[in-house]
Chain A
């Protein structure tokens, strides 16, 4: 389904509009994701403009790049990246999320191709992208190696895969599960299963098995006093990894 869907049921639209408003309310239930968003977006912007030789000060520096956002949710990443000029496909297995995202994109007037599908199905169709993003999804999939292999398959030669996830450390358990879910109530309980967290070494090995070469790793840490996220060399909780498919020679 895309932002220009035509099957309209007014009551359904109303229900999704309320959900979309909740997803996109920076002070609402998704507050933690909104706080996190500028850091991820700044990192993606820097990484992509540097890799593809674009002007980092331009307002639409990603013009002409085809991006895939796996696990797009309400579109908090897809929509800003489309505003930066990218041709974005956002996929999520949950039909509900895709409808929320499409509704918001339409209100904002930003074109994004949202589809309720899986990375595996897209890979089976032979789709290829300049950039494949797996942001905060690796820790939720059933088979990490298979998922990353299929995601890597869709990266064009010379293109990038960017992944962000949680490390399987005691600190991550304390902060992401005990802290964020139980103490602060930022996330619904049961959002994360520590057993599924992925170490940087495991992530790197899976990406390399998919024919990619890891070119960067970066940590993201939360500063509770400033109430903001910052990039850091500390990979022990949240971290991001960038891998490249070498250009065909």
Chain B
């Protein structure tokens, strides 16, 4: 076997989770570690991306990107969320009372979150991984066989390789998870999120707004310039109907929800709908295998936590592997993987249940429930300490966070 087909860690999937894990392991395991990310998408030359979709990067995730040297490359494209406002109303309500608002700072001078276009992050991370000597293999992982000291890998192009550990970062419909025979559990909301980018006349001043409408949350998340990213939740069949409408009628539906505070609006990209649900793998690990990001879990995006949960996985796995490597231990051994699973599985379930509760609470029409939640949010509003806790938790830096999420090096 050739020397260059022997790896310490192989990531299957070149999305955010796979690339971030590669960069984190490079930092933790040092320059001599042999790392690879396998994804057929690397075969195509990088197209000038037309994908305007953006993600909310919570403070903990930003600290991780800072520690890995990614943030300085994308910062110019990041829009800080300087304030948040949550309203609860019916569609026809003339005025939308604000029930919860906060200035978006976790620590003085550190915004709660930033909005960052996915394509910007993806391009910067791909470049950085290449510069740092991570092999970008333009193929998929077709199969694997774990052994006592290594895991044997069969690549989509017929080549073979071995690694100490294999990380499945191949998304919600993970092929590797299926190959490992790991089932999933969860629930569907029969709801979809319509995602699009909207331009508007007047500046948004960095304010994020989330309207809890009867059909589900409608979020307006500020991007750089006079632009917002929209996450608009509807029943799945309604969402499909909306997307088939002529653009002018869709714009009319959008305006009813968006409001006119920011002046005239226009749709800047092709709206797309994504089905919502909570799904969690029955195990996050197998023999010399770790499920990371969407392969391990997908959650309702109501609290904007999808990406941030995935990055918490990355930080936890990289830390467990680095701690083992410092002792000269096998980074794909069961103790390392079990530490990763213990760290992440409970947190994931807790977040899934919390966002589910939030969604059900806000999705109910009963006036009694409405009153209860108004009082509940009113209480949160009145207790600064509690609100601080909510912000820190949503920012992903509450609890026993991995070192990278605290902005520390591995």
A80 contacts partner chain B, Cβ-Cβ < 8 Å? yes
Measured between alpha carbons, how far is A34 from B335 in the docked complex, in Å?
A: 10
Interface secondary structure of A, over-half rule: helix
Question: What are the residues of chain A within 8 A of B149 when measuring CB–CB?
Answer: 24, 104, 107-108
- Chain B residue at minimal CB-CB distance from A108: B149
A41 contacts partner chain B, Cβ-Cβ < 8 Å? yes
A140 contacts partner chain B, Cβ-Cβ < 8 Å? no
| Contact between chains at B334 and A59 (CB < 8 Å) | no
Question: What are the residues of chain A within 8 A of B33 when measuring CB–CB?
Answer: 59
| Contact between chains at B334 and A26 (CB < 8 Å) | yes
Measured between alpha carbons, how far is A20 from B148 in the docked complex, in Å?
A: 8
B246 contacts partner chain A, Cβ-Cβ < 8 Å? no
| Contact between chains at B326 and A45 (CB < 8 Å) | yes
7 pairs of A and B residues whose beta carbons are closest in the complex: A80-B328, A107-B149, A83-B328, A59-B30, A41-B327, A21-B148, A84-B328
**Number of chain A residues whose Cβ lies closer than 8 Å to a Cβ of chain B:** 27
Measured between alpha carbons, how far is A109 from B34 in the docked complex, in Å?
A: 12
Of the residues B30, B148, B327, B334, contact of A45 by C-beta under 8 Å:
B327
Question: Whole-angstrom distance from the CB of B408 to the nearest CB of chain A?
Answer: 12
Question: Whole-angstrom distance from the CB of B35 to the nearest CB of chain A?
Answer: 13
Of the residues B28, B148, B335, contact of A24 by C-beta under 8 Å:
B148
Given contacts A59-B32, A60-B32, contact A109 B328 (CB under 8 A): no
| Contact between chains at B330 and A37 (CB < 8 Å) | no
B124 contacts partner chain A, Cβ-Cβ < 8 Å? no
A42 contacts partner chain B, Cβ-Cβ < 8 Å? yes
Chain B positions 307-326 with a Cβ under 8 Å from a chain A Cβ: 325-326
Given contacts A104-B149, A107-B148, A107-B150, contact A59 B327 (CB under 8 A): no
Question: Whole-angstrom distance from the CB of A135 to the nearest CB of chain B?
Answer: 14
- Chain A residue at minimal CB-CB distance from B28: A59
Given contacts A21-B148, A108-B149, contact A80 B32 (CB under 8 A): no
A81 contacts partner chain B, Cβ-Cβ < 8 Å? yes
**Number of chain B residues whose Cβ lies closer than 8 Å to a Cβ of chain A:** 19
Contact with B along A59-80 (1 / 0, CB 8 A): 1100000000000000000011
B6 contacts partner chain A, Cβ-Cβ < 8 Å? yes
Measured between alpha carbons, how far is A45 from B327 in the docked complex, in Å?
A: 7
Question: What are the residues of chain B within 8 A of A58 when measuring CB–CB?
Answer: 30
Question: What are the residues of chain B within 8 A of A45 when measuring CB–CB?
Answer: 326-328
Of the residues A34, A57, A81, contact of B328 by C-beta under 8 Å:
A81
B295 contacts partner chain A, Cβ-Cβ < 8 Å? no
Measured between alpha carbons, how far is A21 from B33 in the docked complex, in Å?
A: 24
Given contacts A26-B334, A27-B334, A60-B30, contact A80 B329 (CB under 8 A): yes
Given contacts A26-B333, A59-B30, A109-B6, contact A41 B148 (CB under 8 A): no
Chain B positions 362-382 with a Cβ under 8 Å from a chain A Cβ: none
Given contacts A59-B29, A59-B32, contact A107 B326 (CB under 8 A): no
Given contacts A26-B335, A27-B334, A59-B29, contact A108 B150 (CB under 8 A): yes
Question: Whole-angstrom distance from the CB of B286 to the nearest CB of chain A?
Answer: 15
Contact with B along A86-126 (1 / 0, CB 8 A): 00000000000000000010011100000000000000000
Question: What are the residues of chain A within 8 A of B335 when measuring CB–CB?
Answer: 26, 34, 38
Of the residues A25, A57, A80, A83, contact of B148 by C-beta under 8 Å:
A25
A82 contacts partner chain B, Cβ-Cβ < 8 Å? yes
Question: What are the residues of chain A within 8 A of B32 when measuring CB–CB?
Answer: 59-60
* A/B interface sample: 10 pairs, CB < 8 A: A20-B148, A26-B334, A37-B327, A38-B335, A41-B329, A42-B327, A57-B326, A59-B325, A79-B328, A81-B328
